[in-house]
Structure 1
């Protein structure tokens, strides 16, 4: 008998890396480009911001793109491959129809913005996979209304696939299997960033969840007003009972009613160290009638960007597998297992 180990099929029959785009090039989009850089199974070829886009079918260089964005305010200034554009997403779609999938690293301000972007993809005739890391329940409800249109367009849309909603929602769905009934899912997050300026859109979305604020208020705030608010709170944003799509995702997955899901946490905008550990606790009753809790805690050393971008690309890979099987439409992080991107 031969002692030779079988060669994994993926190595014996190498396939072309998936061509990936990133929409939005703020803090999250820039982090996404760095996450993709060492991957073999995905190559970052396209990105867009408000003023332009960059496209290179052989791959974009994260360091070059981040530097040009910081120096000149848009990827459209990149040479070669950059194009300044009034409608950057539409023009990028027309220029690069062969991109397999996009991570929508976009702020959902206003609350209808993400749905409007998705309608652009549907109208363009592009077929592929989209993944988002949106936060609000109401934003996901808008996506659910587009479910049939996405399926008809031949698009797989993976929604709520960041950290929360996303990684922690999926952990709750798995942990729930120990129980006959789920009494409570409690998500508590801690985020630490050295400077709020690196994640302006994300911080504004968080402010919109604060008591006395809403999406319109947060959108209307100037940078100076945001800084004044953070000065009053010592740079910390404390959030409770947030409108977070983890609730509808777990309800759609049949785990528990949405009113049993709570999300809250603390964002420190002046310190990269997390103010508290991020975790999800699932409490329920087993078939023997015992009440117990599972807790899944993220390592304090993992950043917000790592816990959002990693899962997003894992779900993007899973979405492409569905797409290749002819399964289109909308899925959430609580319905599909992500696939690790090598």
Structure 2
């Protein structure tokens, strides 16, 4: 049984990451999944939702709002879930399309009077910059918000902070990711965000693409997306943490949308000069068997637990995954 003191968690967004988040929370004792919202509705149950039922409902009817009896159909699903639930912390597993979306959602939480912990897995530097402008308002509202808490930014950014300690000066941080998914439709929003990074595309253009247009584009590339010099928030996070200027941070990778096997191993390389004057590189590589969902949702909930600990000490405002160590969720 989950204890009464388990952290009550809500998930905003119920696509691939939101569904994986629900499954990851199921065996946890310290957290319980009680709420979720998608575009057309929300579901809430203070004793916990069943992920199998929720995911089946979402696939069969297009919204978690149809979940019986816990669901409610609504065009204002996020706002109504906030108002009609008792949730300690939320994982914002939302597509950041358009690029202002996450900041807009944060403003909704501020305006609602809700107090608790928010965690996101944002990717873009400019999106994190928008959240930084909300720092005073988040603090005043009693909200502890941790941003960039996925795999990259997130797990790999935090690893870079630790690896940097061996050096007197950091010359370069290079993050390279490999993602393999059997079917792009399970991660539609994530794939659109990746396409937005490609030459000739931007956030607006990617958001406007129909599923058929995405499918046709992936046919042209044999399902492979090769991404270089991405606008990734690892750069601003490492700069804010005092590790190195953002122009020394490079992020890129390969996404295979038709094969669950990773096209290459995800890793971060931190190159620097030691106090003895030696140039060296630390490499931290993720196991190929760990999925994108495991490497994004796992850290997100570790940071959510860390955020709860900060909040319990009266510490509010905006933090990044490069500033705070995540805690393991049992």
Could you say which TM-score interval applies, normalised by the shorter chain? over 0.9
Question: How far 1:253 sits from its partner (Å)?
Answer: 0.1
**Stretches of 4+ aligned residues off by more than 2 angstroms:** none
Provide the rounded CA distance (Å) in 2 between the counterparts of 1:16 and 1:326: 19
The structure whose Rg is larger is 1
Instruction: Choose from 256, 263, 273 the match for 1:268.
Output: 256
Instruction: Choose from 213, 223, 227 the match for 2:211.
Output: 223
Deviation by residue 1:135-185 (Cα, 9 ceiling, x = unmatched): 000000000000000000000000000000000000000000000000000
1:296 pairs with 2:284: yes
Q: Which residue of 2 aligns with 1:115?
A: 103
Provide the rounded CA distance (Å) in 1 between the counterparts of 2:115 and 2:164: 34
Instruction: Choose from 135, 139, 146 the match for 1:158.
Output: 146
Provide the rounded CA distance (Å) in 1 between the counterparts of 2:37 and 2:4: 27
Q: Which residue of 2 aligns with 1:7?
A: none
How is 1:67-146 mapped onto 2 (pairs within 5 angstroms)? 67-96=56-85, 98-146=86-134
Provide the rounded CA distance (Å) in 1 between the counterparts of 2:105 and 2:159: 29
How is 1:106-255 mapped onto 2 (pairs within 5 angstroms)? 106-255=94-243
Deviation by residue 1:281-314 (Cα, 9 ceiling, x = unmatched): 0000000110000000000000000000000000
Provide the rounded CA distance (Å) in 2 between the counterparts of 1:33 and 1:81: 15
Task: Compute the TM-score of the two structures, normalised by the length of structure 1.
Answer: 0.95
RMSD value over aligned CA atoms? Answer: 0.7
Deviation by residue 1:68-120 (Cα, 9 ceiling, x = unmatched): 00000011111111000110011011101x21000000000000001000000
1:66 partner SS: helix
Q: Which residue of 2 aligns with 1:6?
A: none
1:333 pairs with 2:289: no
Q: Which residue of 2 aligns with 1:256?
A: 244
Structure 1 gap ranges (5+): 1-13
Q: Which residue of 2 aligns with 1:311?
A: 299
Structure 2 gap ranges (5+): none
Q: Which residue of 2 aligns with 1:37?
A: 26
Provide the rounded CA distance (Å) in 1 between the counterparts of 2:68 and 2:207: 32
Provide the rounded CA distance (Å) in 2 between the counterparts of 1:324 and 1:171: 26
Question: How far 1:15 sits from its partner (Å)?
Answer: 6.5
Provide the rounded CA distance (Å) in 1 between the counterparts of 2:79 and 2:204: 26
Provide the rounded CA distance (Å) in 1 between the counterparts of 2:81 and 2:265: 39
2:153 partner SS: coil
* Number of residue pairs matched by the alignment: 328
Q: Which residue of 2 aligns with 1:58?
A: 47
2:161 partner SS: helix
Task: Compute the TM-score of the two structures, normalised by the length of structure 2.
Answer: 0.99
Provide the rounded CA distance (Å) in 2 between the counterparts of 1:234 and 1:92: 40
Provide the rounded CA distance (Å) in 1 between the counterparts of 2:215 and 2:44: 35
Deviation by residue 1:194-239 (Cα, 9 ceiling, x = unmatched): 0000000000000000011100110111111111110010000000
Instruction: Choose from 27, 36, 39 the match for 2:16.
Output: 27
